[in-house]
Protein backbone atom coordinates (compact mmCIF):
# COMPACT_ATOMS: atom_id res chain seq x y z
CA UNK A 1 0.00 0.00 0.00
CA UNK A 2 2.91 2.35 0.58
CA UNK A 3 3.69 2.45 -3.17
CA UNK A 4 0.10 3.31 -4.12
CA UNK A 5 -0.66 7.02 -4.64
CA UNK A 6 -2.96 8.58 -2.04
CA UNK A 7 -5.78 11.10 -2.34
CA UNK A 8 -6.93 13.10 0.70
CA UNK A 9 -10.70 13.42 0.51
CA UNK A 10 -12.75 16.50 1.27
CA UNK A 11 -15.90 16.24 3.37
CA UNK A 12 -18.01 16.04 0.21
CA UNK A 13 -15.82 13.28 -1.19
CA UNK A 14 -16.05 11.37 2.09
CA UNK A 15 -19.83 11.42 1.67
CA UNK A 16 -19.43 9.89 -1.79
CA UNK A 17 -17.03 7.24 -0.47
CA UNK A 18 -19.50 6.30 2.26
CA UNK A 19 -22.22 5.90 -0.38
CA UNK A 20 -19.95 3.69 -2.48
CA UNK A 21 -18.89 1.52 0.45
CA UNK A 22 -22.54 1.09 1.40
CA UNK A 23 -23.58 0.00 -2.09
CA UNK A 24 -25.46 3.17 -3.11
CA UNK A 25 -22.87 4.44 -5.59
CA UNK A 26 -21.00 2.41 -8.17
CA UNK A 27 -17.19 2.47 -7.90
CA UNK A 28 -17.01 3.84 -11.44
CA UNK A 29 -19.25 6.76 -10.45
CA UNK A 30 -17.05 7.41 -7.41
CA UNK A 31 -13.96 7.46 -9.62
CA UNK A 32 -15.67 9.84 -12.04
CA UNK A 33 -16.43 12.21 -9.16
CA UNK A 34 -12.73 12.34 -8.21
CA UNK A 35 -11.09 14.00 -11.20
CA UNK A 36 -7.42 13.31 -11.74
CA UNK A 37 -7.19 10.15 -9.63
CA UNK A 38 -4.79 7.49 -11.01
CA UNK A 39 -6.05 3.99 -11.98
CA UNK A 40 -5.35 2.80 -8.43
CA UNK A 41 -5.38 5.11 -5.44
CA UNK A 42 -5.67 4.91 -1.65
CA UNK A 43 -8.35 7.28 -0.37
CA UNK A 44 -7.62 8.90 3.00
CA UNK A 45 -9.27 11.39 5.31
CA UNK A 46 -7.65 14.64 6.44
CA UNK A 47 -5.80 12.72 9.15
CA UNK A 48 -4.20 10.53 6.44
CA UNK A 49 -6.05 7.44 7.65
CA UNK A 50 -6.27 5.00 4.70
CA UNK A 51 -10.00 4.41 4.26
CA UNK A 52 -10.29 2.56 0.96
CA UNK A 53 -8.47 1.50 -2.18
CA UNK A 54 -10.16 2.65 -5.39
CA UNK A 55 -9.47 0.95 -8.72
CA UNK A 56 -10.77 2.69 -11.84
CA UNK A 57 -11.36 1.40 -15.35
CA UNK A 58 -13.50 -1.47 -16.68
CA UNK A 59 -13.13 -3.45 -13.44
CA UNK A 60 -13.71 -0.51 -11.11
CA UNK A 61 -13.82 -1.52 -7.45
CA UNK A 62 -13.60 0.04 -4.01
CA UNK A 63 -12.02 -1.96 -1.18
CA UNK A 64 -12.53 -0.81 2.42
CA UNK A 65 -9.36 -0.48 4.50
CA UNK A 66 -10.28 1.36 7.69
CA UNK A 67 -13.67 2.47 9.08
CA UNK A 68 -14.69 6.03 8.32
CA UNK A 69 -14.62 8.29 11.36
CA UNK A 70 -18.03 8.95 12.86
CA UNK A 71 -19.25 11.79 15.04
CA UNK A 72 -22.18 12.27 17.40
CA UNK A 73 -25.65 13.57 16.73
CA UNK A 74 -28.87 12.01 15.41
CA UNK A 75 -27.51 11.86 11.86
CA UNK A 76 -24.76 9.50 13.08
CA UNK A 77 -27.04 7.13 14.98
CA UNK A 78 -26.50 3.57 13.71
CA UNK A 79 -30.26 3.09 13.68
CA UNK A 80 -30.66 5.63 10.85
CA UNK A 81 -27.22 5.83 9.23
CA UNK A 82 -27.27 2.42 7.59
CA UNK A 83 -25.56 1.19 4.40
CA UNK A 84 -27.86 1.06 1.39
CA UNK A 85 -27.41 -2.68 0.95
CA UNK A 86 -28.54 -3.32 4.54
CA UNK A 87 -31.65 -1.15 4.16
CA UNK A 88 -32.49 -2.81 0.85
CA UNK A 89 -32.10 -6.28 2.34
CA UNK A 90 -34.22 -5.38 5.34
CA UNK A 91 -37.05 -4.19 3.13
CA UNK A 92 -37.05 -7.42 1.14
CA UNK A 93 -37.95 -8.05 -2.48
CA UNK A 94 -41.29 -7.60 -4.13
CA UNK A 95 -42.57 -4.65 -2.10
CA UNK A 96 -43.39 -1.24 -3.56
CA UNK A 97 -41.84 1.16 -1.09
CA UNK A 98 -42.33 4.87 -1.57
CA UNK A 99 -39.26 6.94 -0.81
CA UNK A 100 -39.88 10.45 0.47
CA UNK A 101 -36.85 12.71 0.13
CA UNK A 102 -36.79 14.99 3.16
CA UNK A 103 -34.48 17.75 1.92
CA UNK A 104 -36.00 20.52 4.07
CA UNK A 105 -37.84 20.59 7.40
CA UNK A 106 -41.38 19.41 6.56
CA UNK A 107 -44.12 22.04 6.62
CA UNK A 108 -47.66 21.27 7.81
CA UNK A 109 -48.62 20.84 4.18
CA UNK A 110 -45.72 18.42 3.67
CA UNK A 111 -47.03 16.31 6.57
CA UNK A 112 -50.42 16.03 4.88
CA UNK A 113 -48.80 15.18 1.56
CA UNK A 114 -46.67 12.49 3.18
CA UNK A 115 -49.74 11.00 4.88
CA UNK A 116 -51.58 10.82 1.55
CA UNK A 117 -48.61 9.09 -0.10
CA UNK A 118 -48.27 6.68 2.80
CA UNK A 119 -51.88 5.54 2.45
CA UNK A 120 -51.87 5.42 -1.35
CA UNK A 121 -50.94 2.51 -3.62
CA UNK A 122 -47.68 0.97 -2.46
CA UNK A 123 -47.76 2.96 0.74
CA UNK A 124 -47.39 -0.01 3.07
CA UNK A 125 -43.75 0.91 3.74
CA UNK A 126 -42.45 4.46 3.62
CA UNK A 127 -38.76 5.32 3.42
CA UNK A 128 -37.92 8.77 4.74
CA UNK A 129 -34.58 9.45 3.08
CA UNK A 130 -32.76 12.38 4.69
CA UNK A 131 -29.71 13.70 2.80
CA UNK A 132 -27.05 14.66 5.33
CA UNK A 133 -23.69 16.25 4.59
CA UNK A 134 -20.48 16.24 6.60
CA UNK A 135 -19.82 19.86 5.75
CA UNK A 136 -21.39 22.63 7.81
CA UNK A 137 -24.68 24.07 6.52
CA UNK A 138 -24.98 27.52 5.02
CA UNK A 139 -25.66 30.25 7.61
CA UNK A 140 -29.32 30.18 8.57
CA UNK A 141 -29.96 26.77 7.02
CA UNK A 142 -31.10 23.77 9.05
CA UNK A 143 -28.20 21.32 9.30
CA UNK A 144 -28.05 17.54 9.18
CA UNK A 145 -28.91 16.97 12.85
CA UNK A 146 -31.96 19.23 12.74
CA UNK A 147 -33.19 17.70 9.49
CA UNK A 148 -32.96 14.18 10.93
CA UNK A 149 -34.83 15.24 14.08
CA UNK A 150 -37.59 16.79 11.96
CA UNK A 151 -37.77 13.64 9.80
CA UNK A 152 -38.00 11.40 12.87
CA UNK A 153 -40.91 13.48 14.16
CA UNK A 154 -42.58 13.11 10.75
CA UNK A 155 -41.98 9.35 10.88
CA UNK A 156 -43.75 9.07 14.22
CA UNK A 157 -46.66 11.15 12.98
CA UNK A 158 -47.03 9.08 9.80
CA UNK A 159 -46.92 5.78 11.67
CA UNK A 160 -49.61 6.95 14.12
CA UNK A 161 -51.90 8.36 11.43
CA UNK A 162 -51.58 5.76 8.70
CA UNK A 163 -50.34 2.56 10.31
CA UNK A 164 -47.63 2.36 7.66
CA UNK A 165 -44.18 1.04 8.41
CA UNK A 166 -41.95 4.11 8.31
CA UNK A 167 -38.17 3.75 8.03
CA UNK A 168 -35.96 6.82 8.47
CA UNK A 169 -32.56 6.68 6.79
CA UNK A 170 -29.76 9.27 6.90
CA UNK A 171 -28.14 9.31 3.46
CA UNK A 172 -24.64 10.82 3.12
CA UNK A 173 -25.10 13.33 0.34
CA UNK A 174 -22.74 16.12 -0.71
CA UNK A 175 -25.11 17.59 -3.30
CA UNK A 176 -26.02 16.86 -6.89
CA UNK A 177 -23.17 18.97 -8.24
CA UNK A 178 -20.59 16.48 -6.95
CA UNK A 179 -21.71 13.47 -8.96
CA UNK A 180 -23.68 12.61 -12.08
CA UNK A 181 -25.83 10.29 -9.97
CA UNK A 182 -29.05 11.87 -8.72
CA UNK A 183 -30.51 11.65 -5.25
CA UNK A 184 -33.41 9.73 -6.79
CA UNK A 185 -30.93 7.13 -8.12
CA UNK A 186 -29.41 6.83 -4.66
CA UNK A 187 -32.90 6.42 -3.19
CA UNK A 188 -33.39 3.46 -5.52
CA UNK A 189 -30.22 1.87 -4.20
CA UNK A 190 -31.71 2.06 -0.70
CA UNK A 191 -34.78 0.15 -1.89
CA UNK A 192 -37.26 2.89 -2.84
CA UNK A 193 -39.21 1.85 -5.93
CA UNK A 194 -40.05 5.49 -6.57
CA UNK A 195 -38.71 8.67 -5.02
CA UNK A 196 -40.83 11.70 -4.17
CA UNK A 197 -39.08 14.95 -3.17
CA UNK A 198 -41.48 16.10 -0.47
CA UNK A 199 -40.71 19.80 -0.82
CA UNK A 200 -41.36 19.65 -4.60
CA UNK A 201 -45.03 18.83 -3.92
CA UNK A 202 -45.69 22.05 -2.02
CA UNK A 203 -48.41 24.36 -3.24
CA UNK A 204 -47.27 27.72 -4.68
CA UNK A 205 -48.62 29.46 -1.57
CA UNK A 206 -46.56 27.31 0.80
CA UNK A 207 -43.45 27.53 -1.40
CA UNK A 208 -43.76 31.33 -1.50
CA UNK A 209 -44.27 31.51 2.27
CA UNK A 210 -41.16 29.43 2.95
CA UNK A 211 -39.09 31.46 0.48
CA UNK A 212 -40.29 34.70 2.06
CA UNK A 213 -39.45 33.85 5.67
CA UNK A 214 -36.33 36.02 5.54
CA UNK A 215 -38.46 39.04 4.61
CA UNK A 216 -40.88 38.67 7.50
CA UNK A 217 -38.77 40.50 10.05
CA UNK A 218 -37.91 43.38 7.70
CA UNK A 219 -41.59 43.79 6.87
CA UNK A 220 -42.46 43.83 10.58
CA UNK A 221 -39.78 46.46 11.23
CA UNK A 222 -41.06 48.55 8.31
CA UNK A 223 -44.58 48.41 9.75
CA UNK A 224 -43.43 49.50 13.21
CA UNK A 225 -40.96 52.27 12.34
CA UNK A 226 -40.75 55.21 9.95
CA UNK A 227 -38.19 54.65 7.15
CA UNK A 228 -35.21 56.36 8.81
CA UNK A 229 -35.73 54.49 12.09
CA UNK A 230 -36.32 51.18 10.28
CA UNK A 231 -33.04 51.61 8.41
CA UNK A 232 -31.15 52.12 11.68
CA UNK A 233 -32.82 49.13 13.40
CA UNK A 234 -31.99 46.88 10.44
CA UNK A 235 -28.43 48.20 10.30
CA UNK A 236 -27.92 47.48 14.01
CA UNK A 237 -29.29 43.96 13.60
CA UNK A 238 -26.96 43.21 10.70
CA UNK A 239 -23.91 44.49 12.56
CA UNK A 240 -24.66 42.92 15.94
CA UNK A 241 -22.62 39.91 16.98
CA UNK A 242 -21.73 38.14 20.15
CA UNK A 243 -18.26 38.06 21.62
CA UNK A 244 -16.48 35.17 19.93
CA UNK A 245 -14.51 32.33 21.46
CA UNK A 246 -11.53 30.10 20.71
CA UNK A 247 -11.78 26.53 22.01
CA UNK A 248 -8.28 25.11 21.71
CA UNK A 249 -7.73 21.37 22.12
CA UNK A 250 -4.29 19.90 22.81
CA UNK A 251 -3.20 16.30 23.29
CA UNK A 252 -1.17 13.45 21.86
CA UNK A 253 -1.87 11.91 18.48
CA UNK A 254 -4.66 9.39 19.00
CA UNK A 255 -5.86 11.01 22.22
CA UNK A 256 -9.32 11.65 20.77
CA UNK A 257 -9.02 15.43 20.58
CA UNK A 258 -10.06 15.61 16.90
CA UNK A 259 -13.06 13.38 17.54
CA UNK A 260 -14.25 15.48 20.46
CA UNK A 261 -13.51 18.73 18.61
CA UNK A 262 -15.48 17.62 15.53
CA UNK A 263 -18.41 16.54 17.67
CA UNK A 264 -18.35 19.83 19.61
CA UNK A 265 -18.22 21.91 16.42
CA UNK A 266 -21.11 19.94 14.93
CA UNK A 267 -23.27 20.48 18.03
CA UNK A 268 -22.50 24.20 18.16
CA UNK A 269 -23.30 24.52 14.46
CA UNK A 270 -26.55 22.65 15.04
CA UNK A 271 -27.40 25.18 17.74
CA UNK A 272 -27.07 27.99 15.22
CA UNK A 273 -23.70 29.22 16.48
CA UNK A 274 -21.21 30.18 13.80
CA UNK A 275 -18.48 27.61 14.29
CA UNK A 276 -15.25 27.00 12.37
CA UNK A 277 -13.29 23.79 12.89
CA UNK A 278 -9.51 24.00 12.48
CA UNK A 279 -8.37 20.40 12.77
CA UNK A 280 -4.63 19.84 13.05
CA UNK A 281 -4.17 17.48 10.10
CA UNK A 282 -6.47 19.43 7.79
CA UNK A 283 -4.62 22.66 8.58
CA UNK A 284 -1.32 20.93 7.76
CA UNK A 285 -2.60 20.25 4.25
CA UNK A 286 -3.53 23.88 3.60
CA UNK A 287 -2.51 26.66 5.97
CA UNK A 288 0.80 25.05 6.95
CA UNK A 289 1.60 23.00 3.88
CA UNK A 290 5.38 22.57 3.53
CA UNK A 291 6.20 23.03 7.20
CA UNK A 292 8.27 20.35 8.89
CA UNK A 293 7.93 18.85 12.35
CA UNK A 294 10.94 20.39 14.07
CA UNK A 295 10.18 22.62 17.04
CA UNK A 296 10.28 25.89 15.09
CA UNK A 297 7.91 24.53 12.41
CA UNK A 298 5.52 23.18 15.02
CA UNK A 299 5.44 26.51 16.82
CA UNK A 300 4.76 28.34 13.55
CA UNK A 301 1.97 25.91 12.67
CA UNK A 302 0.28 26.46 16.05
CA UNK A 303 0.67 30.23 15.78
CA UNK A 304 -0.96 30.21 12.33
CA UNK A 305 -3.87 28.22 13.70
CA UNK A 306 -4.16 30.64 16.61
CA UNK A 307 -4.12 33.64 14.27
CA UNK A 308 -6.93 32.28 12.08
CA UNK A 309 -8.92 31.22 15.15
CA UNK A 310 -8.58 34.70 16.61
CA UNK A 311 -9.87 36.24 13.37
CA UNK A 312 -12.91 33.97 13.45
CA UNK A 313 -13.60 34.85 17.08
CA UNK A 314 -13.01 38.56 16.55
CA UNK A 315 -16.04 38.60 14.24
CA UNK A 316 -18.28 36.81 16.70
CA UNK A 317 -17.70 33.23 15.61
CA UNK A 318 -16.52 30.25 17.60
CA UNK A 319 -13.25 28.67 16.46
CA UNK A 320 -12.58 25.09 17.52
CA UNK A 321 -8.95 24.07 16.96
CA UNK A 322 -7.42 20.64 17.54
CA UNK A 323 -3.69 20.46 16.84
CA UNK A 324 -1.27 18.47 19.01
CA UNK A 325 0.27 21.78 20.16
CA UNK A 326 2.97 20.06 22.26
CA UNK A 327 4.75 23.14 23.62
CA UNK A 328 3.54 25.50 26.35
CA UNK A 329 5.00 28.53 24.55
CA UNK A 330 2.92 27.87 21.43
CA UNK A 331 -0.27 27.44 23.43
CA UNK A 332 0.45 30.64 25.33
CA UNK A 333 0.82 32.48 22.02
CA UNK A 334 -2.62 31.26 20.93
CA UNK A 335 -4.16 32.46 24.18
CA UNK A 336 -2.47 35.83 23.67
CA UNK A 337 -3.83 36.14 20.11
CA UNK A 338 -7.36 35.23 21.20
CA UNK A 339 -7.41 37.65 24.11
CA UNK A 340 -5.96 40.43 21.93
CA UNK A 341 -8.91 39.91 19.58
CA UNK A 342 -11.31 40.37 22.50
CA UNK A 343 -12.38 36.71 22.39
CA UNK A 344 -13.04 34.19 25.11
CA UNK A 345 -10.40 31.44 25.29
CA UNK A 346 -10.82 27.88 26.51
CA UNK A 347 -7.88 25.45 26.63
CA UNK A 348 -8.93 21.80 26.61
CA UNK A 349 -6.30 19.17 27.44
CA UNK A 350 -7.25 15.72 26.16
CA UNK A 351 -5.08 13.82 28.61
CA UNK A 352 -5.46 10.28 27.25
CA UNK A 353 -2.35 8.27 28.28
CA UNK A 354 0.36 7.49 25.74
CA UNK A 355 -0.17 3.72 25.92
CA UNK A 356 -3.86 4.14 25.07
CA UNK A 357 -3.03 6.45 22.15
CA UNK A 358 -0.58 3.89 20.80
CA UNK A 359 -3.08 1.06 21.10
CA UNK A 360 -5.68 3.07 19.14
CA UNK A 361 -3.31 4.20 16.38
CA UNK A 362 -5.20 3.73 13.11
CA UNK A 363 -2.30 4.87 10.92
CA UNK A 364 0.56 2.94 12.49
CA UNK A 365 2.46 6.15 13.22
CA UNK A 366 3.60 5.22 16.72
CA UNK A 367 5.06 1.93 15.49
CA UNK A 368 6.91 3.75 12.73
CA UNK A 369 8.15 6.36 15.20
CA UNK A 370 9.46 3.69 17.58
CA UNK A 371 11.21 2.04 14.62
CA UNK A 372 12.97 5.35 13.89
CA UNK A 373 11.11 5.94 10.62
CA UNK A 374 9.46 9.19 11.80
CA UNK A 375 11.70 11.73 13.54
CA UNK A 376 10.38 14.36 15.96
CA UNK A 377 7.25 12.38 16.81
CA UNK A 378 5.46 13.78 19.85
CA UNK A 379 5.48 11.45 22.81
CA UNK A 380 8.23 9.23 21.35
CA UNK A 381 11.16 11.24 20.01
CA UNK A 382 9.81 14.73 20.74
CA UNK A 383 8.43 15.94 24.07
CA UNK A 384 4.85 16.83 24.96
CA UNK A 385 4.64 19.52 27.61
CA UNK A 386 1.43 18.87 29.53
CA UNK A 387 -0.44 22.13 30.14
CA UNK A 388 -0.63 23.45 33.67
CA UNK A 389 -3.20 26.08 32.65
CA UNK A 390 -5.87 23.91 31.00
CA UNK A 391 -9.44 25.09 31.59
CA UNK A 392 -10.84 21.61 30.92
CA UNK A 393 -9.13 18.21 31.20
CA UNK A 394 -10.74 15.08 29.71
CA UNK A 395 -9.34 11.57 29.33
CA UNK A 396 -11.14 9.75 26.51
CA UNK A 397 -9.84 6.38 27.70
CA UNK A 398 -12.64 6.39 30.26
CA UNK A 399 -14.84 9.35 29.30
CA UNK A 400 -17.19 8.79 26.31
CA UNK A 401 -17.17 11.37 23.51
CA UNK A 402 -20.69 12.55 24.38
CA UNK A 403 -19.68 13.23 27.99
CA UNK A 404 -16.47 14.98 26.93
CA UNK A 405 -18.44 17.26 24.60
CA UNK A 406 -20.93 17.99 27.37
CA UNK A 407 -18.09 18.93 29.73
CA UNK A 408 -16.54 21.32 27.22
CA UNK A 409 -19.92 22.86 26.35
CA UNK A 410 -20.59 23.54 30.02
CA UNK A 411 -17.23 25.26 30.43
CA UNK A 412 -17.77 27.28 27.25
CA UNK A 413 -21.23 28.31 28.44
CA UNK A 414 -19.70 29.65 31.62
CA UNK A 415 -17.29 31.76 29.57
CA UNK A 416 -20.00 33.07 27.29
CA UNK A 417 -22.38 33.66 30.17
CA UNK A 418 -25.07 31.47 28.60
CA UNK A 419 -26.36 28.74 30.86
CA UNK A 420 -28.29 26.95 28.12
CA UNK A 421 -25.24 26.44 25.91
CA UNK A 422 -24.17 23.52 28.09
CA UNK A 423 -27.35 21.63 27.17
CA UNK A 424 -27.47 19.73 23.85
CA UNK A 425 -30.38 20.83 21.74
CA UNK A 426 -30.08 24.49 22.80
CA UNK A 427 -32.24 26.45 20.34
Residues annotated in the binding site, as ranges? 251-258
Give the distance from CA 306 to its chain's centroid: 22
Q: In what order do the strands lie in the sheet with 98-101?
A: 165-172, 125-132, 98-101, 194-197
Q: Which of 31, 280, 309, 18 is nearest to 173 (CA)?
A: 18
Q: Do 154 and 111 meet the contact criterion of CB atoms below 8 Å apart?
A: yes
Show binding-site residues for ATP: 251-258
Q: Do 182 and 103 meet the contact criterion of CB atoms below 8 Å apart?
A: no
Let me know how long the chain is: 427
Q: Do 106 and 156 meet the contact criterion of CB atoms below 8 Å apart?
A: no
| Bridge partner residues of 126 (DSSP) | 98, 166
Please tell me the distance from the alpha carbon of residue 313 to that of residue 298, in angstroms, as a whole number: 22
Amino acid sequence: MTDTPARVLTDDELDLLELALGGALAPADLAAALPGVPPEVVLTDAENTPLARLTSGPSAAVEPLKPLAAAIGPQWDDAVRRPARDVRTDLGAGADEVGLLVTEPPTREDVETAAALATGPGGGTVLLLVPVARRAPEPGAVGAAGLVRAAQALAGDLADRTGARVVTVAVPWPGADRTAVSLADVAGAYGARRAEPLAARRSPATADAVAGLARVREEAVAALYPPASAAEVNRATRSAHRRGAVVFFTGLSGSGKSTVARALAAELDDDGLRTTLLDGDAVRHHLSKGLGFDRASRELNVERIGYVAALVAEHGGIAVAAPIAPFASGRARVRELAEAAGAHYLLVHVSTPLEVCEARDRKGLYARARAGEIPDFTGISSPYEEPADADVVVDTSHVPVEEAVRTVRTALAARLGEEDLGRPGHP
